[in-house]
Chain A
Amino acid sequence: QVQLVQSGAEVKKPGASVKVSCKASGYTFTGYYMHWVRQAPGQGLEWMGWINPNSGGTNYAQKFQGRVTMTRDTSISTAYMELSRLRSDDTAVYYCARGYYDILTGYYGNYFDYWGQGTLVTVSS
């Protein structure tokens, strides 16, 4: 069965960086885009960007460009999201989420059929 297992909670100081991992299993890692979505405490969902695990190509939401880097290691089916120059308003649960892909039609849909369990990142001095 498809599983996305994320790394554990992090506490960081303002100005630091954080790197969250997302290990995929149960499917072909390179066949599906991996997205990152965050959720501040008590708030809604915010899309951050995606990585194509096959090519390593990325696309970031404008808000995060220059601060976020998404990478992957295909040998261990793991995607990573690194956010730098952290601020207090970056405190949130960060999710990895698999982008939809229809094997029969070859259609890639930019919505998310499987999600990781989330990683709480707390930014505090």
Chain B
Amino acid sequence: EIVMTQSPATLSVSPGERATLSCRASQSVSSNLAWYQQKPGQAPRLLIYGASTRATGIPARFSGSGSGTEFTLTISSLQSEDFAVYYCQQYNNWPALTFGGGTKVEIK
């Protein structure tokens, strides 16, 4: 099983600032990585797939990068609605899909 490790566990950011979230895979997942946003009491929402392609309707302030074992989700200018938990998910090692433990983005 591929283990996905996200860092930091919690990120404190002021509105308008840039947030950078990391996701590391225990072995290469090529570009087969997705990012999700989850707000309290809600289901996750797909943000990014293929490591860098934004899903339908996702604002341009969200961007993804990386390949192999190191990935980054960047939120260029945090809006109030962006404070949430973010998860990465690899889908290279089929059928054993795995998620990272999440990064909580909180208001500083």
Contact = CB atoms under 8 A, between A and B. Distances in A.
Interface stretch (B20-28, B61-69, B93-101): B93-101
Contacts, number: 56
B43 A110 contact: no
A97 B97 CA distance: 13
> Interface centre among B32, B43, B56, B96, by most A CB within 10 Å?
B43
A46 B101 CA distance: 10
A47 B100 contact: no
A100 B43 contact: no
A91 B101 CA distance: 18
A111 B87 CA distance: 12
A105 interface: no
Interface in B66-108: 87, 89, 91, 94-102
Contact of B101 (A44, A61, A115): A44
Interface residues on A, range: 20 to 34
A6 to B, nearest CB: 10
A118 B97 contact: no
A95 B97 contact: no
B91 A115 contact: no
A111 B43 contact: no
Interface in A80-125: 95, 97, 100, 109-113, 115-118
Interface of B: 32, 34, 36, 43-46, 49-50, 55-56, 87, 89, 91, 94-102
Interface of A: 35, 44-47, 49-50, 59, 61-62, 95, 97, 100, 109-113, 115-118
27 contacts: A44-B87, A44-B99, A45-B87, A45-B89, A45-B99, A45-B102, A47-B89, A47-B97, A47-B99, A49-B95, A50-B95, A61-B95, A61-B97, A62-B96, A97-B44, A100-B46, A109-B49, A109-B91, A110-B97, A111-B46, A112-B34, A112-B36, A112-B46, A113-B46, A113-B56, A115-B45, A117-B43
